[in-house]
Structure 1
Amino acid sequence: MLWGAFLLAHVLTVSMGWVYPSQPMGDVVLVYEPWASSALGGGAIVGVTETWVYPQLALVPMLITKLLATPLVPLLGVSGAYLVAWAVLVTVLDAIAFAVLVGHATSRPRRIAAWFWCAALLLLGPIAIYRIDAVTVPIAVIGGLWFASRPVVAAALLTVGAWIKIWPGALVLAAIVAAKARIRMLLAAAAVTAGVIVVLVLLGADTEIFGFLTEQTGRGLQIEAAAATPFLWLAVAGAARIEYSFEILTFQISAPGVDGVTALLTPLMVVVVGLVVVLGAFKAWQGASFPRLFPPLALSLVVALIVTNKVGSPQFQTWLLAPVILWLVIDGLRARVPATIVLTLCALTCLVYPLGYDALLRAELLPVLVLTLRNVLLLVLLVVGIRALVRVPVDHHRSKNHRSKIKE
């Protein structure tokens, strides 16, 4: 039944991309395929010969998809072949992670986590498949499940994920804070990062290596971002404008005060993430166990990256799937509320994009209201995660033993 649900969820979600409005598959064929064609055809290589908005390993699945699509071009055309190949690649990666999740003798928590994953895919819709973020979800699930048994491999795998899209780094950070094998994991993450940088330098990259960080600095406030919510209501009233950025290829809000809010968001992200890490580190120092500490810490860090971001892309909701799946596996009873919230977030996000996006761009009341509910619920999820983190029990006896070993 689980594998049947997995297959059905992926077939339906993939199919939605072909029938839903607002081009939910647009990035794959309009952006990813040209980048891959350029790199394979001897042209510019994003992240190597020119600065790119993504970490460089994001190009790898795009190139793999291009190679998979080549035999299908005579039948489906360039765009159709690339879309089908992308959907197949994501489904295969998900299937590998799903197999690791359910295993051979599936426990009840793992079954619940598997059903949650299938439901989240269906509710979120095609954006859960047709974005580069979809490649990082199975990587995060596998890495998270391996933290207890293979911490070094898990940290290395998640660091690879972070070089595709930054957010899996939050899971590495949470594990380094919460786990005993933190030094080994830190070294593994550093080794992977060093290896990637060496390869990039050999390929000819220099100032482009960290371009995915500098490229974000000039971005405006995207309309779906949590911080853009008050300005969207100004747009409803006619006091703000929604404009398209041809440089970033996204819709941004323009209104008095937007620039100031945008400038504050990155420092705010650093502060919020830092405070969550400090709270997690304090709990770890006090002897909190990994199963109780890691799940709320990981989720809180990921949600913090979303709510303080000046980009509010709908595919960011896929970032929430792995932390909740891991929480359901490790500590299912306390994961019920976060899981319910995330499923609701997926449904609301699909209503915003792609279903209601055209109306949102016209600043109509109903889609702005739905997006507002979505963004408020994201803040609620952050509060729920931090509240769970504060309530993590500590073992003072274990903490004293740990401190004595450090002194020795």
Structure 2
Amino acid sequence: MTAVGIDRTASRPRLGRVTNRVLLWAAFVFVHLFVGSMGFLLPNQPTGDVWLVYEPWSRAVFSGGGIVGVTHDWVYPHLALVPMLLAHVPGALVGDYTVGWAILVVIVDAVAFAVLVGRGRSRGRVTAAVFWLAAILCLGPVGMYRIDGISVPLAILGCLWLLRRPWLASVLLAAATWIKIWPAALLAAALVAVRRRSVVVAAAALVSALIFGVVVALGGADHALGFVSGQTGRGLQVEAPVSAVYLWGALFGVEGSSVYYDQGILTFQVMGAHTDVVAALMTPLLVLAVGAVVALGAVQARRGVSFLRLFPTLGLTLTTVLIVVNKVGSPQFQAWLFAVVVLGLVVDRRRWVGPGILVLVSAALTQLVYPVLYNGIVSPTLVPVAVLTLRNVALIVLLVWMAVRLVRLPAPAPALVRSTP
């Protein structure tokens, strides 16, 4: 009887862990099926980038039509072409490239989700997994049917492994950066917060050298940094926070203020008084803002603030800066916020529930903006413009919140020195 009783008692936590994992994976399947389906049902073609640009770019490689980033400048870093090529494999099996892309994103998400959930024993990991699924649901199909859908799970893995596997974490973050530039913010935060900085630098440098070497070997030396120049020459995208003045001006009929479609980069931008000057100033302003946040993080690191307190806060501050102080404001940018919040919830649920909720609100407002209300943005009407403005306010609040938290991070108390006789 005693042995049976002990077995039952010991099995309860194990059964609870199994139940957690089963429920989380069931939710994972449901969320991805639902969001993936909504990509084909919601208005304004949320899957458009996949079949309008990703598929033609990747097919050109097979047909001899040139390699983006090698034979000519490209808007993305070079490694972004790899998932676009890989999507043809599941796409061929199901007979549709867009569905194949969704399958590829689900596979990469599943790998990161499995590492995050683990054995289902940690409440922080379970909370973080629930947050990530809720975030995917709130942001909607734009988070799945964009190249960012590949970089985000890689960034989550990188964040989770930074302490115990800094070499592998840096490789993943560097690879994610060469897919979409934003994870560079997490690499910068890692260089400040991680003690084994040389490992992080070496791994990131190796990945970058390999990619750059392949591009040069293929004859693409002249286009190796085309994605940088392509971004600096852009105008003010309609969803960016800095564009709000011109968007409201277009709504109220202010002379010269309007929304137009740029055929070169395939996105909607705003026009108005001095937009060229504002667009030119945004890039150096972004660099200064990033530099200021990194410097503040370095000060906190010198004060001895621990990695688990410093890295998530610094990482989210830098990532939010990349969104708020940016002349580009695509809706999928909201997915950038997910990775650091996931880590924050893993290591300290209590402090990161608030930022997590604000990120979910921002993501949900973004899905309302695009694809649901987007017609009212490109041809401005009151409710859609107000929703977009509210979303941008939420992002600014998050940036201020994280900056204040970064300033207030406590340094460890000095050790008590015992005097001996």
Q: 1:365 aligns with which of 374, 378, 382?
A: 382
Q: Does 1:101 align with 2:116?
A: yes
Q: Superposed, which structure 2 residues align to 1:5-404 within 5 Å?
A: 5-73=27-95, 81-239=96-254, 240-395=257-412, 397=414
Letter in 1 for 2:140: G
Residue 275 of structure 1: CA displacement? 0.7
CA–CA distance in structure 2, aligned partners of residues 302 and 281 of structure 1:
16
Q: Secondary structure at the match of 2:73?
A: coil
Residue 84 of structure 1: CA displacement? 0.8
Letter in 2 for 1:332: R
Residue 391 of structure 1: CA displacement? 1.6
Residue 397 of structure 1: CA displacement? 4.5
Structure 1 stretch 35-44 or stretch 50-59: which is displaced more? 35-44
CA–CA distance in structure 1, aligned partners of residues 205 and 404 of structure 2:
31
CA–CA distance in structure 2, aligned partners of residues 383 and 373 of structure 1:
15
Aligned partner of 1:403 in structure 2 is: none
| Deviations, residues 328-347 of structure 1 (Å, cap 9, x unaligned) | 11222111111011000011
CA–CA distance in structure 1, aligned partners of residues 81 and 290 of structure 2:
28
Letter in 2 for 1:42: G
Residue 150 of structure 1: CA displacement? 0.2
Instruction: Report if the CA contact (8 A) 1:287-1:396 is conserved.
Output: no
Letter in 2 for 1:23: Q
CA–CA distance in structure 2, aligned partners of residues 118 and 105 of structure 1:
15
Q: Secondary structure at the match of 1:242?
A: strand
Residue 229 of structure 1: CA displacement? 0.6
Q: Secondary structure at the match of 2:231?
A: coil
CA–CA distance in structure 2, aligned partners of residues 170 and 212 of structure 1:
17
CA RMSD, Structure 1 to Structure 2 (Å): 1.0
- Matched residue count: 391
Residue 396 of structure 1: CA displacement? 6.6
CA–CA distance in structure 2, aligned partners of residues 335 and 376 of structure 1:
19
CA–CA distance in structure 1, aligned partners of residues 335 and 54 of structure 2:
19
| Deviations, residues 287-323 of structure 1 (Å, cap 9, x unaligned) | 1100010001000000000111111000000100101
**Segments of 4+ moved more than 4 angstroms:** none
Q: Secondary structure at the match of 1:165?
A: coil
CA–CA distance in structure 2, aligned partners of residues 33 and 105 of structure 1:
38
Residue 261 of structure 1: CA displacement? 1.3
CA–CA distance in structure 1, aligned partners of residues 217 and 89 of structure 2:
23
Residue 105 of structure 1: CA displacement? 3.9
Letter in 2 for 1:16: M
Residue 29 of structure 1: CA displacement? 0.2
| Deviations, residues 160-185 of structure 1 (Å, cap 9, x unaligned) | 00000001111111011001111111
| Deviations, residues 43-98 of structure 1 (Å, cap 9, x unaligned) | 1110011100000000000000123322433xxxxxxx001100100001000000
Instruction: Report if the CA contact (8 A) 2:58-2:81 is conserved.
Output: yes
TM-score by structure 2 length? Answer: 0.91
Residue identity (%): 51
Q: Which runs of 5+ in 2 are unaligned?
A: 1-22, 416-421
TM-score by structure 1 length? Answer: 0.94
Aligned partner of 2:13 in structure 1 is: none
Instruction: Report if the CA contact (8 A) 2:90-2:103 is conserved.
Output: no
Letter in 2 for 1:367: P
Q: Secondary structure at the match of 1:138?
A: helix
Instruction: Report if the CA contact (8 A) 2:120-2:126 is conserved.
Output: no
